[in-house]
Chains A and B, each alone.
Chain A
């Protein structure tokens, strides 16, 4: 997680050209991404984190970009067909002073059309886009998913 923190600190320092000021930007912590074997997951995975807004303005997470795939902001909703994931209209509001949890079964950042497997222990970077706040680049460690481990092919990766 050190590496992740370093990335966030660096990006914030670039955005604001300052360091050590903790109250005028979002704070993102505990970020992780579900490990995903593209052949099993349909080339999708979810990214999760805590986003705190200590600033004086309301902020909305509206989307993002990644070199690893297409990014959408999703929610999990109960429908007649059971739990379903769908894109959120208007994004996720993070009001001033609030902390929003992105977690399995709830809000999450969806990465689709993955161009390679996300193996446990890999890191995946997404540039999150906000309304009312500059972009933040988040690098998350891949943790094993509950489903699909049986089909996991760790030997497909080349030795380097």
Chain B
């Protein structure tokens, strides 16, 4: 796009200039267009107000912080309403690239950069506040799975703020503001940061190339589709969750050193997809439907029994989820092994009937388990969105 715009601008200038002027004009126009495209990231914003919370049915942002809080002892619903009123105003401003109220460093509000902050509640939130009758259908804490090696410092939490942006400075500043206004009510339990690609690296969407090299996020419901509505957005139960959804967050460590001992054909068989473009081994393009019955002339299945996409494929029509994964890279050990993996998310109406059956199949058999270890796990109920004049979760905290 940059070169095309530069070319068009140069042509327009050439029409009114001398030959010598035209070449200078082309340089100037190309510079101007490249400067404006350099700062396009700052200007893009996501709508905070709407029937759903922002940060879910949108293209993945470049960087993310999942921040979990535990309530202070003795917290009341009245306390929670005050917290939610502060967060509602903060997120509304940050989404527009504005400083929050009473911002000690307003100069850091350098642009919206598609900032979103999505609020969720863990099971303990409902228990601590006497809100058991408000727990949505299908909202559960996950059972332990045999491949799990979960750590407290990456797991559970009473309240989640999932903050994302296309710029790391914007993300850091917004996270700090939201944490600052949360401290009268809670303590931080953990923060997990992740990333996808920088803006402009790949066409918009939610699939990104994870650090095992796979295209992650294929076969999701399409934004704005009835399918997305059916899979993700809750339309029954308590009023506060209608328009909301349920989130499963899993921190999945990757054993890259042993993974990289495999050759490309073996890596592709583990998943059932081509590494080059994410196409199923039975197809050509990423979004081709995998043919799970296809066999080679020698009778072997093209997509093996142990392949991840065969095990994850729905057994029943409703067993589908929306994934919006981020990668993490925390550093590297003295032996050179990177601490890398996924902040893997699944959004659905009902964790029990949508995510759980898939996960149980992967627990029984999925060769990918050899190189991936879940080390963090949490589930959160994501309240519906807020319209003008409303505040987050107000129907829950009456």
A residues apposed to B, CB below 8 Å: 1-2, 30, 32, 35, 48, 119-122, 141, 143-144, 146, 149, 152, 154-155, 157-160
Contact call A2/B102, Cβ cutoff below 8 A: no
A154 to B82, CA, bound (A): 11
Contact call B102/A143, Cβ cutoff below 8 A: yes
Number of A-B pairs whose CB atoms are under 8 Å? 63
User: Which B residues are CB-close (under 8 A) to A143?
Assistant: 86, 101-102, 181
How far does the Cβ of A76 sit from chain B's closest Cβ, in whole Å?
A: 15
Out of B73, B79, B85, B101, name the residue touching A157 (CB < 8 Å): B79
Interchain Cβ contacts under 8 Å between A and B, 27 examples: A1-B89, A2-B388, A32-B102, A119-B82, A120-B82, A120-B83, A121-B82, A121-B85, A121-B86, A141-B85, A141-B86, A141-B89, A143-B101, A143-B102, A144-B184, A152-B184, A154-B76, A154-B79, A154-B185, A155-B72, A155-B73, A157-B76, A157-B78, A157-B79, A158-B76, A158-B78, A159-B77
Contact call A122/B101, Cβ cutoff below 8 A: no
Within B177-192, which residues are at the interface with A (CB < 8 Å)? 180-181, 183-185
A30 to B103, CA, bound (A): 10
Residue interface bits B236-250, CB-to-A below 8 A is 1, else 0: 000000000000000
How far does the Cβ of B135 sit from chain A's closest Cβ, in whole Å?
A: 20
Within 8 Å of chain A (Cβ to Cβ): is B331?
A: no
A147 to B104, CA, bound (A): 14
Contact call A149/B183, Cβ cutoff below 8 A: yes
Within 8 Å of chain A (Cβ to Cβ): is B37?
A: no
Specify the chain A residue showing the minimal Cβ separation from B79.
Answer: A154
Residue interface bits B367-398, CB-to-A below 8 A is 1, else 0: 00000000000000000000011000000000
User: Which A residues are CB-close (under 8 A) to B76?
Assistant: 154-155, 157-159
Given contacts A2-B389, A141-B101, contact A120 B73 (CB under 8 A): no
How far does the Cβ of A35 sit from chain B's closest Cβ, in whole Å?
A: 7
Out of A1, A30, A144, name the residue touching B181 (CB < 8 Å): A144
